[in-house]
A and B are shown apart, each in its own frame.
Chain A
Amino acid sequence: MIPAIFVFLYLAAVLYIGVFAFRKARGKQEAEDYFLASRSLGPFVFLFSLFGTNMTAFAILGSSGHAFSNGIVTFGLMASSSGLVIPLTIFFVGTRVWALGKKHGFMTPVQMFRDRWECSHIGTVIFVVQAVLLVPYIIIGIMGGGTTLNVISGGLVPYWFGGAIVALVVMGYVFFGGMRGTAWVNTFQTILFLTFGIIAIVVIGAGMGGFRSAANAMLASPALAPLLTRERISPYYFFSYTFIPLSAIAFPHILIFCLTAEKMKHFKKTVIFYPLCILAIWLPCVFLGVMANRVTDVPQIKAKQEARRVLATQGKNLAPEQRDELREQSAGDDVIMLLLQRYAPLWLAGLLGAGIMAAVMASDSQILALSTMFTEDVFAFYGHKQRFGEGVQVKAGRLFIVLITLFAYAVALRAPETIFELAIQYAFSGFAALSPLLIAAIFWKGSTKWGALASTIWVAASVVAVALFQHFVPAPAPGPSVVVWSLGSTEVLSRTPGGTAVLGFMPVVPMVIISALLMIIVSMLTRKPAPTTINRYFGV
């Protein structure tokens, strides 16, 4: 229960930060102040809050869980590729979006698309696709909060109550603090995790009797040695993953965050230090996830390994439902928590539990982004801002925050978590495939609204197609994939144990390439915006 007390203290602290931000903004009724902190964030808060916004439960619990099952490949797949691609997109796209936001007063990506391509309802279509892809994050954040509090308290705090507390706290500081509160909380969370993550690796390493002996013992075990290499992963799959970080800049909450910097030079530190922040958080999580395989005195970890062994040896003879059950049992999303409980002193487990909680609660930015999008792209766009004024617009945004949080909590109580974990996987690919819209809007004079619409419809259709395919073709047991469509000796479409492969690549690769091609071809065939509009973006 002691770790849970630390977590509750942490929750109180973040709630206070939100209320403090509210006090600082007292009297200000402008939408720009509430949704973008008056575009006034300094370099330090901008770096840590932008990074913290990207650090979801997926990054902390998911990375160690993935590494527990798949080994060191997790770092190259998800972290180092992000450490290159995300700062590159912030450098090339984020800075330009910031400048356009300052120049034209945009607060959301759809506002920019509508102005750049002279469109209205096509912008609404883009809004709907973005919103639908974003909602699962909010739901899974609440689910993660409920599960984490339940585990940390040793079962004393039930899942429904933990989820309710997390939902209320997040809703509270986003409701009161808006972007300023969210940015401060994200900064606090990132610093907390960076500090105590490093302490955790030292303490757990010492508890396990040193990593040197654990690594050598793994190498000596035929079942575990492959986890220290990448021999089980196809190079095509590894390459495909470098497309996933393209999603970061296309996520509305990240793009909206880019608009909050006071000056463009504040991007410099973010661009330079982003790869190091990723290294500092992901390397310990991945390494601990891999090393958890050598832990012999934690029954839950042994049970996961046994489920993995049964799946590998008898999976082919089992029904798809039994395989899914074994996959769930072998999932390692809680290994970091289990290692902390076993090896860290109670006070440290509590502090780290708070750090993990911080990552789990990263859904704050998505909630605020959805509220910003709703009030700007729908409420204001369809005339309600003019009719009721800016004060009512901010109130509508706050009401939306309450409603979306309540909706997410209600869904989190009823639906199985795996559904939303899958939805997030599709969302990453979906947002990556939406990135050509952003790049075309900023860098290509010839892009048109019809090109944007074609890309958006393709993204929505391909996400649904992949989801349906994976629903109707069950995942095979670990080993060779199931070929569904081949041309001669070329495997065009396969169902792999972890998802889908198109010509050996993850679906995100054809999704991004076709989205870009559609944007180019359809734009070339359709009428461009008026020269005055193009000149506002590209100069005369």
Chain B
Amino acid sequence: MKRILLVIAVVALYALHQDIWFWRTAHPLVFGFVPIGLFYQGCFSIAACLLMWLLVAFAWPAHLEEEIEHSDTEEGRPH
């Protein structure tokens, strides 16, 4: 279930990049000088950061790391 939600989140954010609703307008100017389309895309970058945090927190491929550490230990190599 957790994985399905993360996949939906990734697809949804990808779709939200195509913000056709702010395509033809600069208004409102956020802080009095940032066009809304640019502000939206800036917020999109912050949302991407949050999504990456979710992926790292809930879908980190820890088994790969464990496999490497296990094989290093077996071979007596420092890691």
Interface residues of A (CB under 8 A from B): 72-73, 75-76, 79-81, 83-84, 87-88, 91, 95-96, 98-99, 102-103, 210-212, 214-216, 219, 225, 228-231, 235, 238-239, 242, 263-265, 268, 271-276, 278-279, 283, 286-287
Contacts and interface: CB of A to CB of B under 8 A. Distances in A.
A83 B68 contact: no
A81 B32 CA distance: 25
B71 interface: yes
A272 B68 contact: no
B52 A271 contact: yes
A259 to B, nearest CB: 12
Contacts of A238: 18
Interface of B is mostly: helix
A272 B67 CA distance: 23
Given A88-B10, A215-B35, A225-B26, A272 B49 contact: yes
B65 A99 contact: yes
Contacts of B42: 75, 80, 279, 283
B56 A287 contact: no
Contact of B24 (A103, A229, A271, A273): A229
Contacts of B45: 79-80, 83, 275-276, 278-279
Interface of A is mostly: helix
A80 B48 CA distance: 8
Interface of B: 10, 13-14, 17-20, 22-26, 29, 32-35, 37-38, 41-42, 44-46, 48-49, 51-53, 55-56, 60-61, 64-65, 67-68, 71, 79
A287 B48 contact: no
Contact of A264 (B37, B44, B65): B65
22 contacts: A76-B17, A76-B19, A76-B37, A79-B41, A80-B42, A83-B44, A83-B49, A84-B14, A87-B48, A95-B61, A210-B33, A212-B32, A228-B26, A229-B35, A235-B18, A235-B20, A238-B18, A264-B61, A271-B56, A272-B53, A276-B45, A283-B38
B33 A268 contact: no
Contact of B68 (A80, A91, A102, A275): A102
Given A242-B14, A271-B56, 9 more contacts: A95-B61, A99-B65, A215-B29, A229-B37, A235-B20, A265-B65, A275-B46, A279-B42, A279-B45
